[in-house]
Amino acid sequence: MKQKVISVLKKYIEEEVILEKPKDISFGHFATPVAFSLAKKLRKSPMLIADEFAKVFSREKMFESVEAVKGYINFKLNEQFLNEYAMQALSNEDSFAKEKKEEKILLEYVSANPTGPLHIGHARGAVLGDSLCRIGKHLGYNISSEYYVNDAGNQIKLLGLSIFLVGQDNFLDTKVCWPEEYYRGEYIFDLACMARERFGIEIFEDEDNIDTLSDWGKEKMLELIKSNLKSCGIEFDNYVSEKELYDKWNEVFEKLKTNDAVYEKDGKWWLKSTKYGDEKDRVVIREDGRATYLAGDIIYHDDKFKRGYNKHINIWGADHHGYIARMKAAIKFLGYDENRLEVILSQMVSLLKGGEPYKMSKRAGNFILMSDVVEDIGSDALRFIFLSKKSDTHLEFDVDMLKATDSSNPIYYINYAHARVNQLFEKSGKKPKDVFDVELKDLSEDAKNLLFNSLLLSEVLEEAFKQRALQKLTEYLKNLASSVHKFYNEHKVIGSNDEDIYLKIFAMSALSIRVGLKLIGIKAKYKM
């Protein structure tokens, strides 16, 4: 809708046209400040330019009115335009708010170490990434999702050691010498029990078996992680193994040396990351010849940038903020455009239950498990609340609020609006398709406003995706649901002279709610 208005205005204006949505809809459906940007070029005051253009734009059939106000130009769309737009959307639900774009995007998120189940911090990035991917695909981007499996290095060996020691402690008459660092939690005991069943008790008798337990334990944890994600409707297009990529380290390291990106000092090899904004140079090869964690990420990003994507989006935890500069430096040293990498940071989450801190999981070793919260409040509530604030801001909420069956629970309130529309159609004895062709005319202001707001989904999706601000979509859905409830309470629908007109407008509202929820991984309810 917005793009159609802009295309009309571009017939008269060569400059870039910015279209805004006034906070008060009584001023108009859209407004443009273009007169201000033209003032210097035309050597006229913005108010005079706005007055002149308002008269020109008034000739266009799609506008009910065009008004110049203090240099701004406000537009109200006419009923015919809104009606045609609604008919097109209702008749083609699968293509509603869809476009086709050329940009090819690789979106990497979660990528949690496969050494334990996912906790609630991982869940926020997972929901954000999956929803961003869904919206991007809907908008026509060629977007793929990827999970980078950190299955090389000390953390995997530590997993195997932890399973080995817990097995010795519980199944053998052995005095265990516990190291300072090992993985705790009941899930390690569960893995030890499974390992005994899989390999026999002798697996815990020889330290040479730790590597076997490491590889086996990693696979079991990856299975659990995939299960945790699937419980929230999250699946990846691709999984990439860090361990398998290490075969390319020599090749990548030679490229770094050729590009004067590394130097040797104190028996280590360092990346010259300070050259491109990092606070200090970083070690990529230790004194003993082992590659560091950063080296693994450099290999991975070299592999990613070779695959022909226009843009790479990584969703990282907020604690990785300092990692961005060194990663972008490495990408530049490898000969790629570091601006093709975008990093979205996801802040941690604080959970309450009845006003008190949410109970930690003994299974995970003092973490709040994603699976526990999904079991407590359901996937829909978890997904919605995690998208209700921008990812780089702290999120705190009480899970009991998401069990309420009133307007205090946003997902209930939105679903109830959708179900209410369905109930209206059942009472009328009609199906939505029966009113698709009804002409919308002589609408009251509140009916027209509800229709207009129901048609805004494509604009909201575009803005939410481009700004990586998916809270714009959740806020839109809440506001639209509120408008549906308000209109329902203030107007008689069934049996009124405008029954079919109202039903068509409600059908449009329900469509936007249904599609909007689907794109954040929630299936709209038809009955409640």
Spatial separation of the C-alpha atoms in residues 510 and 487, rounded to whole Å: 13
- Is residue 100 over pLDDT 90? no
Spatial separation of the C-alpha atoms in residues 345 and 195, rounded to whole Å: 37
According to DSSP H, which parts of 282-356 are helical? Answer: 293-305, 323-333
Give the long-range contacts of residues 20-26, CB within 8 A, separation 24 or more. 21/456, 21/459, 22/74, 25/449, 25/452
- Is residue 180 over pLDDT 80? yes
The domains found in the chain, sorted by start residue, are: 2-77 (3.30.1360.70), 104-148+236-346 (3.40.50.620), 154-230 (no CATH), 410-518 (1.10.730.10)
Task: With CA atoms as reference, report the closest residue to 395 among 362, 358, 363.
Answer: 358
Q: 346 forms bridges with which residues in the sheet? A: 317
Strand 341-346 relative to strand 356-357: parallel, antiparallel, unpaired?
Answer: unpaired
pLDDT for 312 equals: 98
pLDDT for 15 equals: 84
Distance set, CA 426 to CA 429, 480, 489, 526, 527 (Å) = 5, 21, 18, 11, 11
- Is residue 263 over pLDDT 90? yes
CA pseudo-torsion sign 420, 424, 427, 432: negative
| Cβ–Cβ under 8 Å, residues 105 and 129 | no
**What's the pLDDT tens digit per position in 67-87?**
999 999 999 999 999 999 999
Report helix, strand or coil for 119. strand
pLDDT for 3 equals: 87
Q: How confident is the model at residue 324 (pLDDT cuts 50, 70, 90)?
A: very high
Q: How confident is the model at residue 452 (pLDDT cuts 50, 70, 90)?
A: very high
pLDDT for 163 equals: 97
pTM exceeds 0.75 for this model:
yes
pLDDT for 173 equals: 83
